[in-house]
Structure 1
Amino acid sequence: MKNSKELIALLNLKQINNNTFSGESVTIGSPNVFGGQVLAQAVNAAYRTISENRFLHSLHSYFLEAGDLTIAIDYHVEEIRDGGSFSTRRVTAKQNEKTIFILAASFHRKEDGFEHQTAMNNSIKQPEELLSWEDMVAKFGDFLPKRIKHFLSIERPIDFKPVRVPNPLEPENLPAKEEIWFKLKGEIPAMDLRLKHQILTYISDYNVLNAAFNPNAKEHNFGNTQTASLDHSMWFFRDFDFNDWMLFSAESPNTFGARGLSRGNIYTRKGELIASFAQEGLMRPKKK
């Protein structure tokens, strides 16, 4: 995938019947299906059973099995409840009758209420001052480890610009934080809030465990550690526009027992908080 148009096509599932949908997969460099893709496709399936005046406000999910890139994924939606203000859906994703993922999602009709939010870190560099993953390959590709160069070179529909770029040749332990600007590539079409939620869900599974790696980065990295998303939760707050850069800001309160927890917020460049997320991931050191 090279742009937002191809990403939107990937997330738009084929309808099998009223509550069952099917989707294909595209690799992001892993031998297995990208967790963010399954998340976003499940949100697409759930939204297809929801009335137009209700919007996703929270999701909670578990990754149960690694997805096979060569097999279509079937998504079945259970309509758990439609109340006066909220609707709840459960989505089960399967390949060859094996359940690989489950999602619970809640949708809320728009209402007025009180307001406050956590402030964005305004002391960081702006995206125009930073290198994207593609810039790093062009500038430092001859010096990067083969595994890192391969991952950064894969075509993606999103540009990522990390605020802090660690030196892979001289790793050091860092604070348990990660801040990355991101923006969709290509011409960005008009989108309703439903589609924005699906795309943001897809993006939210990128970079999320970096914060959990940072305190032990001198010895452990994605090359010598077995990693996998175990669960993923999100909460959606305000509408937003994909035409400008947005900030993914994560912190990790804990790693222990071969698991790491990351949580954080997603902001517009103006500092509006649009979503929060949390994920626990497997971080199992590989035996030498």
Structure 2
Amino acid sequence: MTNTDPAASIARLLTLLDVEPIAENRFRGQSTNEGWMRVYGGQVVAQALMAASKTVADGRLCHSLHSYFIRPGDPAHSIDYVVERDRDGQSFTTRRVVALQKDRPIFNMAASFQTVEPGLVHGTPAPRVTPPEELRSDAEWAEINAENTPEPHRTLWRERERPLEFRPVEPMDPFNPEARSPRARHWCRAAAPFRAGEPVMRALFAYASDMTLLDTCLLPHAIGWSDPRLQVASLDHAIWFNATPDLNDWLLFDQDSPSAAGGRGLNRGIVHDRTGAVVANIVQEGLIRYRTS
């Protein structure tokens, strides 16, 4: 399916990220099969966050979440989310969520919510980079690199729906990579304007936050994620929200990988809005097991 109607595309994504209550403290999220063998990790993080948010009093927003991917999710089946209400304090609320498929845990998350309040403010300055208006989108780069892209990735990249638009600051061909320092920056926004409450906007950001982070630790090794000798998977994922990221406008993801060892790579991201303010921080460790024989 091509992204011919961006507004419909982002609307479908927001519907996908919502979860349906099926019992007390239990919710169900649907999956979508876009040709991948497993459920995209950002979808599970976002749906788990939505499930937790539905058990929290209005006015309290998630300020941090910490999660682990336990088993790959099957895109042919829905996912159940079971929420434990650990604590409801005067300012903070704590929730734990377990995602289940076929009654087996595939993911767990701890999330903390806080009443909105003023406080001291500082943030790392945003790097000076090329503005998004002067960059090509990921869809345009997919066309440029199509001749060197093997099937089925070529067809999948051309035809898949793109509710989010990414514009890399330092583009590369993922199927013919060259070694570079472990730093990557890109802009991201929704494919079309949308309206949503702050819990949904934070869940949408959680969905986007897993898209490119793991690639960062592969950059020094000139290994593309499609290399058959490479086994990659997200192991854990954490987000700290300083504000509600609004994907109606461009957000700059400034990512780096400080280390890799033991078949794992650590990846970090500082996310700025167009004013330069830090809206979120992301950390993820991923499996990057490479077989040389």
What TM-score do the two structures reach when normalised by structure 2?
Answer: 0.92
Which SS does the other structure have where 2:55 is aligned?
coil
Aligned to 2:237: 232
Which SS does the other structure have where 1:159 is aligned?
strand
Aligned to 2:6: none
Change (3 A) 1:94 1:141: same
* Residue correspondence of structure 1 range 202-221 to structure 2 within 5 A: 202-217=207-222, 219=223, 221=225
Tell me which amino acid in the other structure corresponds to 2:221. Answer: N
Give the 4+ runs in structure 1 shifted more than 6 A: none
* Residue correspondence of structure 1 range 87-166 to structure 2 within 5 A: 87-122=93-128, 124-146=129-151, 148-153=153-158, 154-166=160-172
CA contact (8 A) 2:225 2:232 kept: no
Please state how far the C-alpha of 1:147 moved relative to its aligned partner: 5.5
CA distance in 2, matches of 1:140, 1:32: 25
* Residue 280 of structure 1 pairs with residue 285 of structure 2: yes
CA distance in 1, matches of 2:198, 2:208: 15
CA contact (8 A) 1:28 1:156 kept: no
Which SS does the other structure have where 2:286 is aligned?
strand
Which SS does the other structure have where 1:93 is aligned?
strand
CA contact (8 A) 1:259 1:282 kept: yes
Please state how far the C-alpha of 1:149 moved relative to its aligned partner: 2.7
Deviations along 1:68-115, one digit per CA (max 9) or x if unpaired, are 111110000000000111000000000111000000000000111111
Which SS does the other structure have where 1:38 is aligned?
helix
What TM-score do the two structures reach when normalised by structure 1?
Answer: 0.93
Which SS does the other structure have where 1:146 is aligned?
coil
Tell me which amino acid in the other structure corresponds to 1:58. Answer: S
CA contact (8 A) 1:266 1:274 kept: yes
Q: Which runs of 5+ in 2 are unaligned?
A: 4-8
Q: CA RMSD in A?
A: 1.7
CA contact (8 A) 2:202 2:244 kept: no
Please state how far the C-alpha of 1:29 moved relative to its aligned partner: 4.5
Tell me which amino acid in the other structure corresponds to 1:241. Answer: D
Aligned to 2:24: 18
Tell me which amino acid in the other structure corresponds to 1:225. Answer: L
Please state how far the C-alpha of 1:191 moved relative to its aligned partner: 1.9
Which one is further off, 255-264 or 144-153?
A: 144-153
Which SS does the other structure have where 1:111 is aligned?
coil
CA contact (8 A) 1:133 1:152 kept: no
Which SS does the other structure have where 1:142 is aligned?
helix
Tell me which amino acid in the other structure corresponds to 1:83. Answer: G
* Residue 65 of structure 1 pairs with residue 71 of structure 2: yes
Change (3 A) 1:208 1:28: farther
Q: Which runs of 5+ in 1 are unaligned?
A: none
Please state how far the C-alpha of 1:133 moved relative to its aligned partner: 1.6
